[in-house]
Structure 1
Amino acid sequence: MSAARPSASAAALRRRRAATAGFHLGAGALAVLWLLPIALVLVTSLRSFDDIAAHGLGSWPRSFTLDNFRQAWVDGGQQRALINSLIVTIPCVLVTLALAAMAAFALSRYELPLRRSLLLLMLGGNLLPPQILLIPVSKLSELMGVYDTLPALIGVQIGFGVGFYVFVLHGFMRAIPTEIQQAAVIDGAGPWQIFLRIILPLTRPALAALSALSFTWIFNDLLWAITVLRSDTKMPITAALIGLQGQYVSMWNVIAAGSVIAAAPTVAVFLRFQRHFVAGLNLGAVK
């Protein structure tokens, strides 16, 4: 009996080690498969056109150049498009989260009439397929005289994003103990002081996570950009990338360089807010 128990435990330990090794091998293989296309785009963006034309897109690179980024940045209009994207994205993120935070604070901390109906209405608006709203949004922007302007795109992004952010922030703010707010009221704090000095600091992980997600969604959006914009000089980076593909049809190195330029801001934002993003997801999972 005493000899059988150590052998059984040793066998269980070997099985656990084999399972752990198999998991790491499988996860490593999936990571390599996921990173291969990204590595191919990065390498292609640095290769010369003559190298790709002579040896093929999948061949081992024989020459490197940064002129592809200059062509995409200057000749392809990526510089102007990136500025347009930042002009749209930064105000949208700030205004949307500010409005959503104020609305979530009111709906989660005070007994307002029909507050549940308002939350369901905001959530239901985000469940509608955006394709059925393309023509109404385009016609409405024309009637308002803002068609083919960046403020029109900013208004659309804010209008379609605020409902989802209110729903998410409502869950975070509702989980904050009411005793904290009651203690602040006893000390003479008003609603704005409670919101700015107590609630907002406690919801910082959620705001950081939503900031990263919001920046990524708005910056990478293409559908609403081609719906309310027409002029090439006002297109954001995603629409300009499509134009770059039409301008440099067979020059895959320039197209790859434009793709790297378009992806760089969102990658930088995610890396900057990665710690807060993971903390926000973990906090939401616990709640």
Structure 2
Amino acid sequence: MTAQVRSPAAPAVALAGSGRVKKTRRPARVAALVFMITMTVLWIVPIVFALYVSLRPVEDTAKNGYFSLPHGLTLGNFTGAWVQSDMQQYFLNSVIITVPAVIVTLFLASCVAFVLTRVPFRFNVALLILFTAGNLLPQQVIITPLYRLYLLIPVPEWVSENGLLYNSYAGLILINVCFQLGFCVFVLSNYMKSIPHEIYEAAVVDGASLWIRYRRLTLPLCRPALAALATLLTTWIYNDFFWAIVLIQRGDKRPITSALANLQGQFVSNQNMIAAAALIAAIPTLIVYVALQKQFIAGLSLGSTKG
């Protein structure tokens, strides 16, 4: 037997090499840390400044400017914004529009994604491309034809009191569902493809129908993706201002984003009260994010550990 002789210089070389790796990684880590801190500060500063302005009396900012030290803080801007803009009614309008739109979008998107990924047929890839391509269409392009359609298409009176999609909750729900459906189908179809085929094969052997495989097997496994999409959809639809202005004529049916526009004066605007109203309007989206935080983070990391 021959004894293996190890060179004493080998560990030293290895340690020196690891030291060089650490030295080369340290500047990169410092740069990444500085970048993240900078982006965080840039993201938080507008929110903190809006809170600072909303707590100052309008007379104080008018006399000393917005970037001066406060001579007093008050919650009067929040109460004034709530009363003057009739926020209670606008909050109710946003709930009536957002909740059904999110539920319908997720239900239809999950159904379409399940069929595209688990039911083999010739045009499944083409349909997936078609749904995805719908997200590339700018909303402003279809204002005129959509406006005319909403004035021509009759609907039952239980859907809209005027018999049209225009100036109705149903019209806003429909347009939000149409524009958000493609993105949700794309995300859910990619996630459903990662579910092992053996699970569905076992379900088929047990006699599970297509509906049972969708409702009892696929939906529970897609809970993180559905929660992440629900958080994003709630934020996007709740904050929509464009379609509310175009498709809603009466102010008492517009969502919460329109309440901020009601605080704008013709000649002078109370920016302190507008800042307070904007913070009040942001509370529901924060509640949704906090409630679905774990599922949302899990949904964002989908597929990160695969491969």
What TM-score do you get using the length of structure 1 for normalisation? 0.91
Q: Give the match's secondary structure for 1:246.
A: coil
**Aligned partner (choices 58, 69, 72) of residue 63 of structure 1:** 72
Q: Give the match's secondary structure for 2:301.
A: helix
Check the 8 A contact 1:76/1:247 in 2, yes or no: no
Match of 2:190 in 1: 171
Give the Cα–Cα distance (whole angstroms) in 1 for the partners of residues 148 and 19 of structure 2. 71
**Structure in which a larger fraction of residues adopt helix:** 1
Match of 2:282 in 1: 263
Match of 1:38 in 2: 47
**Aligned partner (choices 126, 149, 152) of residue 135 of structure 2:** 126
Check the 8 A contact 1:225/1:235 in 2, yes or no: yes
1:9 Cα deviation (Å)? Answer: 6.1
Match of 1:209 in 2: 228
Deviations 1:117-163 (A, max 9, x none): 22122122221111111111111111121211111111111122222
Q: Does 1:238 align with 2:257?
A: yes
Give the Cα–Cα distance (whole angstroms) in 2 for the partners of residues 112 and 18 of structure 1. 52
**Aligned partner (choices 241, 250, 263) of residue 222 of structure 1:** 241
Instruction: Sort the Cα spacing of 1:19 and 1:112 in 2 relative to 1 into closer, same or farther, 3 A.
Output: closer
Give the Cα–Cα distance (whole angstroms) in 2 for the partners of residues 90 and 191 of structure 1. 27
Give the Cα–Cα distance (whole angstroms) in 2 for the partners of residues 223 and 284 of structure 1. 34
Q: Percent identity?
A: 44
Q: Does 1:189 align with 2:208?
A: yes
Give the Cα–Cα distance (whole angstroms) in 1 for the partners of residues 93 and 303 of structure 2. 33
Instruction: Sort the Cα spacing of 1:30 and 1:125 in 2 relative to 1 into closer, same or farther, 3 A.
Output: closer
Gaps in structure 1 of 5+ consecutive residues: none
Check the 8 A contact 1:212/1:270 in 2, yes or no: yes
Gaps in structure 2 of 5+ consecutive residues: 1-7, 154-163
Check the 8 A contact 2:263/2:269 in 1, yes or no: no
Larger radius of gyration: 2
1:19 Cα deviation (Å)? Answer: 4.5
Q: Count how many residue pairs are aligned between Structure 1 and Structure 2.
A: 287
Give the Cα–Cα distance (whole angstroms) in 1 for the partners of residues 203 and 289 of structure 2. 35
Give the Cα–Cα distance (whole angstroms) in 2 for the partners of residues 201 and 15 of structure 1. 45
Deviations 1:20-78 (A, max 9, x none): 34433343233223211110001111111122122211112221111211111111122
Instruction: Sort the Cα spacing of 1:19 and 1:148 in 2 relative to 1 into closer, same or farther, 3 A.
Output: same
Q: In structure 1, give the amino acid aligned to 2:50.
A: V
1:15 Cα deviation (Å)? Answer: 5.5
Instruction: Sort the Cα spacing of 1:160 and 1:30 in 2 relative to 1 into closer, same or farther, 3 A.
Output: closer
Instruction: Sort the Cα spacing of 1:193 and 1:77 in 2 relative to 1 into closer, same or farther, 3 A.
Output: same
Give the Cα–Cα distance (whole angstroms) in 2 for the partners of residues 101 and 247 of structure 1. 46
Instruction: Sort the Cα spacing of 1:11 and 1:159 in 2 relative to 1 into closer, same or farther, 3 A.
Output: closer
Give the Cα–Cα distance (whole angstroms) in 2 for the partners of residues 123 and 277 of structure 1. 22
Instruction: Sort the Cα spacing of 1:7 and 1:162 in 2 relative to 1 into closer, same or farther, 3 A.
Output: closer
Give the Cα–Cα distance (whole angstroms) in 1 for the partners of residues 266 and 285 of structure 2. 24
Match of 1:156 in 2: 175
**Aligned partner (choices 29, 51, 56) of residue 38 of structure 2:** 29
What TM-score do you get using the length of structure 2 for normalisation? 0.85
